[in-house]
Structure 1
């Protein structure tokens, strides 16, 4: 399959589950390349990563205005992949919200929900707090990126690269900071929330509130570190995903069989 939205770093046609990864604000699909190589996930899980417009090979495309539009288009892009194998979603920060919104859209289809939803470094969508990072000056925005730690410092020191990065980051921050969840029934799929114990953007109580967004099992995993704790805990994150999917895939297969 060839689609501008989806990257397959290591195709695994024999894998039982496809794990779709959603990047953070300003992030790209390549952020999840190391996860796709994880020996913990192979060979049972094929990792796909979403590539948002405006970055890397899609840098000349129009930036999207908000989370709902992005979620609609990603849902469409995932249709060819929702065939004989269940999907699971992993999203970090803004990506956690997008993964959740896509899961909600799929829940309208019989057996369409993912077999597992992993939400990282983000408060529950029911807890709205309007942010102002997107209103900062360019210099202040670069400072915010340095503090968060998710961007290669070499990029932030290169004026030519910054000229490409800043509009994308500002647009993504605007999208997530203005996002407001439209109340809807809880999902049925398991939700696992992951967070760093020193993440200023995702206090533990706010992360635990994801529990309210599913009638299925809920798990909380706390790692040492800040907002980008997963940069140094990739093996631990992969272990959490693998353990949860082994049970979730069986439940999902049973639900889809009953829906037909």
Structure 2
């Protein structure tokens, strides 16, 4: 049975009988519930949204600081649990780099690597930081949060929720801004996912991932926020790679 310090990392505990886990890292400023439109399973994998500090049910906990600190603390708590069976990771934009740092540190600890690494709308660590969000002031970030809430189906509550999200978004953006790693190697295979109408991180910039591991690039139809809807072509791609 999981200890409380382990359980806090999961919106829902992974099923004991799950054949594979797909660990889904939340986007900047958001918590695990952002994956509520996703199915509970994709192919052989159970979708497991990760919950980070200072948001949703972990609102009383301080921000994680840097992606390196986040990955270290997460692996200290649940490293053996999430690597005890085959797993994959998914991250989009501000969720891709902390997911990848988790893979890097798991390898450094000698823990099993992921079956697949899905990096959506993000440049490789050695090519960053990149993204329009990094240059926005508070007013700009507030406008982006309102747009994100609308994309998540919370348009009616957007105005009152922005105040709850802004501090988390600013801290997450700062973690993105200071993250950088030289190119290296990780176990597993990378699928770099771009979106043809994404103006935040154009898919043409996602050229650095092959320096880390064998990489296949896929460009799907959609904008920066289309992944929230779990569109059929994304699910088909994930299922195909996981299978």
- Does residue 32 of structure 2 align to residue 26 of structure 1? no
**1:231-259 deviations in Å (ceiling 9; x for gaps):** 3453222221111112xxxxxxxxxxxxx
Shift in CA distance, 31/132, structure 1 to aligned 2, threshold 3 Å:
closer
Task: For structure 1, list consecutive stretches of 5 or more residues without a partner in the other structure.
Answer: 247-260
Shift in CA distance, 150/105, structure 1 to aligned 2, threshold 3 Å:
farther
- Does residue 41 of structure 2 align to residue 5 of structure 1? no
SS at match of 2:61: coil
Deviation at 1:146, TM superposition (A): 4.2
Higher-Rg member (1/2): 1
Paired position in structure 2 for 1:53 = 53
For 2:145 and 2:195, how far apart are their aligned partners in 1? Answer: 17
Q: Which moved more, 1:120-129 or 1:50-59?
A: 120-129
Report if aligned partners of 2:131, 2:200 keep a CA contact under 8 Å in 1: no
- Does residue 176 of structure 2 align to residue 180 of structure 1? no
Report if aligned partners of 2:38, 2:230 keep a CA contact under 8 Å in 1: no
**1:189-227 deviations in Å (ceiling 9; x for gaps):** 01011121121222223223212211xx32212112221
SS at match of 1:5: coil
> What is the TM-score of this pair, normalised by structure 2?
0.86
**1:69-102 deviations in Å (ceiling 9; x for gaps):** 1111122233242354112111111111011111
For 2:17 and 2:195, how far apart are their aligned partners in 1? Answer: 33
For 1:171 and 1:185, how far apart are their aligned partners in 2? Answer: 27
Shift in CA distance, 192/92, structure 1 to aligned 2, threshold 3 Å:
same
Paired position in structure 2 for 1:154 = 156
* Corresponding residue pairs, total: 237
Deviation at 1:177, TM superposition (A): 1.6
Report if aligned partners of 1:8, 1:47 keep a CA contact under 8 Å in 2: no
Paired position in structure 2 for 1:17 = 20
Q: How does 1:100-115 map to 2 (within 5 A)?
A: 100-110=100-110, 112-115=112-115
**1:3-26 deviations in Å (ceiling 9; x for gaps):** 1112227x5433321111101101
> What is the TM-score of this pair, normalised by structure 1?
0.81
**1:30-49 deviations in Å (ceiling 9; x for gaps):** 112332435x43xx212211
- Does residue 228 of structure 2 align to residue 231 of structure 1? yes
Deviation at 1:133, TM superposition (A): 4.1
Q: How does 1:64-75 map to 2 (within 5 A)?
A: 64-75=64-75
Task: For structure 2, list consecutive stretches of 5 or more residues without a partner in the other structure.
Answer: none
For 1:63 and 1:13, how far apart are their aligned partners in 2? Answer: 29
Deviation at 1:184, TM superposition (A): 5.2
